[in-house]
């Protein structure tokens, strides 16, 4: 699914193993999930699978879903997008239903139209209640089949402050006597403390379960055959790998793969030395960067109201690193659950310790000090009053390169990937409010740029849902000329600039064709400003092949643009899309 809430996945999520992959390692959670899905009289409603980052949740989901094809089931795979910083309850539930409609019926235009009519015709009903009502209508169209909805990255509900609404929905469905809901099952996967998504009330509902996803077992026959090429003693090699990784799935599979490619051992006595050298020389380098960032994000991102418990988690982890505790930890110690769900530590009875030697080397005391400082600073984050009372313009690159599929957009066409991100940015901009009720704006002007002429086709966006229509009405065209359209919009803004500041946010996937004219426009614009705070031109780069040097030099004001008073004037801001977690923080950073 290409909407804000994710994508339907007959196609694979990046990083998940293909169905029937011979190296897929079955764990106790596989058996428990199949047992859960096969339950009858009544069938189960919802299963939560919550674990630390990169424990194989997505592979478990894909592998299980592929086995359901023969079980008279319709399955839907949905990934909630971390790139969407903020999402309203209305958009969340509406987009979930759009995704489900597409999966139920190949040609779903008629079904989508019924959904839209129903949604717009019942504006007085809460979004979660509308979701429940229309979902019941959908289930009546699939005969006696079961509808199984997998939702990955479920922790995003916490970031969007939708967890209470969704949990209430699950609880309501679980106790409903409506027979059609017996055909419905949710499998919810993510990385978070179970207490944040599975309140105590749910523990008493028999149709809602929690499955623990553990590390790889000591005996993994699927992975031994390739180790026979490494040594005459593949089991010994496997045990040495486990000593380094503790069985953590991503680490174990990655080190296993590296060992099979790099090592050929003639003597068993070389085993420990050779693997240790391989770990230190190759394995701890950039190959683990994404994995380590995932673990770090479990501390840095999330509910700002949970910051105190995260700081306690850091303090506890630091004690464990420095051996100032014997490892015996009470369940009541604040921060322990956050520490466990991060995956940095593991609990063995009453003993808690660092999960593996690799984590001990990477996530050391220096890392604790640096990351704890970031978390503490996030608690102090305040939006500058300068951000409010602005005119906001969005300019979107409409060049033909926007039809390219891109690894940085999850393999999707850039033009298809961008709407869900911009929808989140629009929601944030329209809803950011100061303590005294000021807003950034009530309306955003949006247009595209491509040919070497002014684009007079303008959209006035007052609700994030209009972004989807904007992209439907505009399609990629030819070249990448930015200046004519930008200059035209600037001329419309300048007469009111003393009353309202301006944000011009430009999304582009490459170098513009009129770079020299763009530099001249920035220079002449600066000369008209009384201060650089009056205007910010924000360039957001899309895709993996964008050349950042030109934009970064403008961001750094290396050409020393001056305002009307002759003071240095830095109005250009550049960042890559995959590094923009929060567009409000990006705008605020440049004004504060």
Query: Same domain for 568 and 472?
Result: yes
Give mean pLDDT, residues 297-319.
75
Which of 187, 211, 235 delimits the end of a domain?
211
Token pair of 223 as six digits: 């992975």
Q: For residue 308, what pLDDT band results from cuts at 50, 70 and 90? A: low
- Is 17 within the bounds of a domain? no
Report how far apart, in Å, the C-alpha atoms of 144 and of each of 47, 559, 566 are.
21, 68, 74
Query: Same domain for 266 and 302?
Result: no
pLDDT value, residue 470: 94
Query: Same domain for 436 and 400?
Result: yes
- Picking from 352, 416, 395, 426, the residue whose alpha carbon sits closest to that of residue 87 is 426
CATH number, domain with residue 139: 3.40.50.300
Rounded Cα–Cα distance for residues 331 and 252 (Å): 28
pLDDT tens digits, one per residue of 387-423: 999 999 999 999 999 998 887 777 789 998 899 889 8
pLDDT value, residue 333: 55
pLDDT value, residue 110: 86
Q: How many domains does the chain have?
A: 4
pLDDT value, residue 38: 87
pLDDT value, residue 336: 72
- Picking from 503, 526, 523, 525, the residue whose alpha carbon sits closest to that of residue 573 is 503
- Is 14 within the bounds of a domain? no
Helix residue spans in 481-570 (DSSP H): 483-493, 515-528, 549-555
Query: Same domain for 351 and 397?
Result: no
- Is 299 within the bounds of a domain? yes
228 versus 301: the higher-pLDDT residue is: 228
pLDDT value, residue 517: 95
Bridge partners (DSSP) listed for residue 353: 346
Which residue's entry shows tokens 């850039």? 414
pLDDT tens digits, one per residue of 462-508: 988 899 889 999 999 888 999 999 999 999 999 877 778 999 999 99
Which of 283, 303, 335 delimits the end of a domain?
283
Q: What is the pTM of this model?
A: 0.63
Query: Same domain for 331 and 455?
Result: no
The DSSP H or E segment spanning 29 is helix 28-38
424 versus 358: the higher-pLDDT residue is: 358
pLDDT value, residue 12: 41
- Picking from 219, 216, 233, 224, the residue whose alpha carbon sits closest to that of residue 271 is 233
Rounded Cα–Cα distance for residues 85 and 88 (Å): 11
With a cut of 60, say whether residue 199 has pLDDT above it.
no
With a cut of 70, say whether residue 380 has pLDDT above it.
no
pLDDT tens digits, one per residue of 134-188: 999 999 988 888 999 999 999 888 888 898 899 889 988 988 888 888 899 999 9
Which of 364, 379, 394 delimits the end of a domain?
379
pLDDT tens digits, one per residue of 227-266: 999 999 999 999 999 999 999 999 999 999 999 999 998 8
Q: Dihedrals φ, ψ of 7, to 5°?
A: -145, 145
With a cut of 80, say whether residue 553 has pLDDT above it.
yes
State the SS3 of 203-232: HHCCCEEEECCCCCCCCCHHHHHHHCCCCC
pLDDT tens digits, one per residue of 18-67: 888 899 999 999 999 999 998 887 788 899 998 888 899 989 998 888 88
Query: Same domain for 239 and 372?
Result: no
Query: Same domain for 353 and 471?
Result: no
Look at phi and psi of residue 563 and say left if phi exceeds 0, alpha if psi is from -120 to 50, else beta.
Answer: beta
Look at 55-69, 192-206, 280-294, 332-346 and tell me which has the smallest mean pLDDT.
192-206
Token pair of 371 as six digits: 């990351």
CB neighbours of residue 148 within 10 Å: 22
With a cut of 60, say whether residue 326 has pLDDT above it.
no
Give mean pLDDT, residues 366-381.
78
Query: Same domain for 434 and 528?
Result: yes
- Is 585 within the bounds of a domain? yes
Token pair of 505 as six digits: 């946010």
pLDDT tens digits, one per residue of 259-288: 999 999 888 788 999 999 999 888 886 668
Query: Same domain for 181 and 264?
Result: no
CATH number, domain with residue 483: 3.40.50.410
Angle formed by the axes of helices 289-300 and 307-321, nearest 10°: 130
pLDDT value, residue 192: 78
Whether omega before 42 lies within 30 degrees of 0, making that bond cis, reads yes
- Is 250 within the bounds of a domain? yes
State the average pLDDT for the chain. Answer: 85
Share of the chain above pLDDT 90, in %: 44
Q: For residue 435, what pLDDT band results from cuts at 50, 70 and 90? A: low
Look at 7-16, 82-91, 538-547 and tell me which has the smallest mean pLDDT.
7-16
Please compute Rg for the chain using Cα positions: 26
- Picking from 44, 126, 115, 38, the residue whose alpha carbon sits closest to that of residue 89 is 126
Domain range for 43: 28-211
Q: What is the DSSP letter of 283?
A: I
Q: In what order do the strands lie in the sheet with 390-397?
A: 459-461, 444-449, 390-397, 501-508, 535-541, 572-576
- Is 177 within the bounds of a domain? yes
pLDDT value, residue 286: 64
- Is 216 within the bounds of a domain? no
Q: CA angle, corner 298, sides to 201 and 9, nearest 5?
A: 80
pLDDT value, residue 325: 54
pLDDT tens digits, one per residue of 558-575: 788 999 999 999 999 998
Query: Same domain for 576 and 544?
Result: yes
Look at 67-71, 72-76, 89-93 and tell me which has the smallest mean pLDDT.
67-71
Q: Please tell me whether residue 484 adopts helix, strand or coil conformation.
A: helix
Give mean pLDDT, residues 115-120.
93
């Amino acid at each position: 699914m290409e909407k804000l809430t994710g994508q339907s996945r007959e196609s694979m999520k990046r990083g998940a193993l293909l169905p029937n992959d011979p190296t897929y390692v079955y764990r106790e959670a596989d058996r428990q999930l199949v047992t859960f899905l096969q339950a009858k009289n009544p069938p189960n409603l919802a299963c939560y699978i919550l674990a630390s980052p990169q424990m194989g949740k997505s592979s478990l989901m894909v592998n299980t879903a592929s086995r359901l094809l023969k079980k008279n089931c319709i399955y839907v795979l949905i990934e909630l997008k971390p790139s969407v910083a903020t999402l309203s309850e209305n958009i969340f539930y509406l987009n979930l239903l759009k995704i489900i409609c597409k999966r139920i019926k190949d040609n779903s235009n008629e079904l989508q139209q019924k959904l839209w009519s129903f949604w717009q015709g019942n504006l007085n009903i809460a979004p979660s209640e509308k979701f429940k009502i229309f979902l019941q209508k959908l289930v009546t169209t699939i005969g006696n089949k079961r509808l199984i909805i997998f939702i990955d990255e479920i922790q995003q509900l916490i970031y969007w402050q939708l967890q209470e609404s969704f949990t209430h929905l699950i609880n309501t469905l679980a106790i409903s006597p409506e027979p059609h809901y017996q055909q419905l099952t949710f499998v919810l996967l993510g990385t978070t403390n179970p207490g944040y998504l599975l309140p105590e009330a749910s523990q008493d509902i028999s149709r809602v379960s929690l499955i623990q996803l553990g590390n790889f077992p000591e005996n993994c026959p699927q992975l031994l055959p390739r180790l026979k090429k490494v040594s005459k003693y593949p089991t010994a090699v496997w045990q040495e790998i486990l000593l380094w990784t503790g069985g953590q799935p991503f680490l174990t599979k990655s080190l296993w793969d590296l060992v099979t490619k790099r090592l050929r051992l003639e003597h068993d006595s070389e085993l420990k030395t050779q693997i240790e050298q391989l770990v230190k020389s190759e394995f701890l380098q950039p190959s683990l960067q994404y994995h380590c960032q995932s673990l770090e994000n479990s501390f840095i991102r999330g509910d700002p109201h949970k910051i105190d418990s995260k700081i306690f988690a850091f303090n506890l982890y630091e004690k464990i690193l420095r051996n100032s505790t014997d490892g015996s930890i009470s369940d009541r110690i604040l921060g322990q659950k956050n520490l466990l769900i991060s995956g940095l530590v593991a609990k063995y009875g009453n003993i808690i310790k660092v999960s593996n030697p690799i984590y001990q080397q990477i996530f050391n005391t220096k890392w604790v000090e640096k990351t704890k400082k970031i978390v503490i600073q996030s608690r102090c984050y305040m939006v500058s009053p300068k951000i409010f009372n602005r005119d906001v313009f969005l300019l979107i690159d409409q060049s033909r390169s926007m039809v390219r599929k891109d690894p940085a957009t999850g393999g999707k066409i850039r033009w298809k990937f961008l709407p869900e991100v911009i929808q989140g940015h629009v929601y944030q901009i329209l809803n950011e409010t100061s303590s005294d009720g000021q807003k950034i704006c009530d309306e955003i002007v949006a247009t595209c740029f491509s040919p070497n002429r002014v684009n007079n086709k303008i959209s006035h966006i007052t609700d994030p849902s209009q972004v989807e229509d904007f992209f439907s009405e505009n399609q990629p065209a030819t070249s990448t000329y930015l200046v004519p359209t930008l200059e035209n919009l600037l001329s419309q803004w300048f007469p009111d600039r003393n009353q309202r500041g301006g944000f011009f946010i430009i999304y582009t996937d490459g170098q513009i064709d009129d770079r020299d004219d763009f530099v001249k426009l920035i220079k002449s614009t600066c000369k008209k400003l009384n201060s650089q705070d009056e205007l910010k031109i924000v360039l957001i780069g899309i895709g993996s092949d964008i050349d950042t040097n030109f934009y970064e030099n403008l961001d750094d004001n290396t050409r020393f643009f001056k305002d009307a008073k002759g003071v240095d004037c830095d109005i250009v801001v550049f960042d890559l899309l995959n590094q923009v977690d929060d567009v409000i923080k990006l705008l605020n950073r440049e004004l504060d």
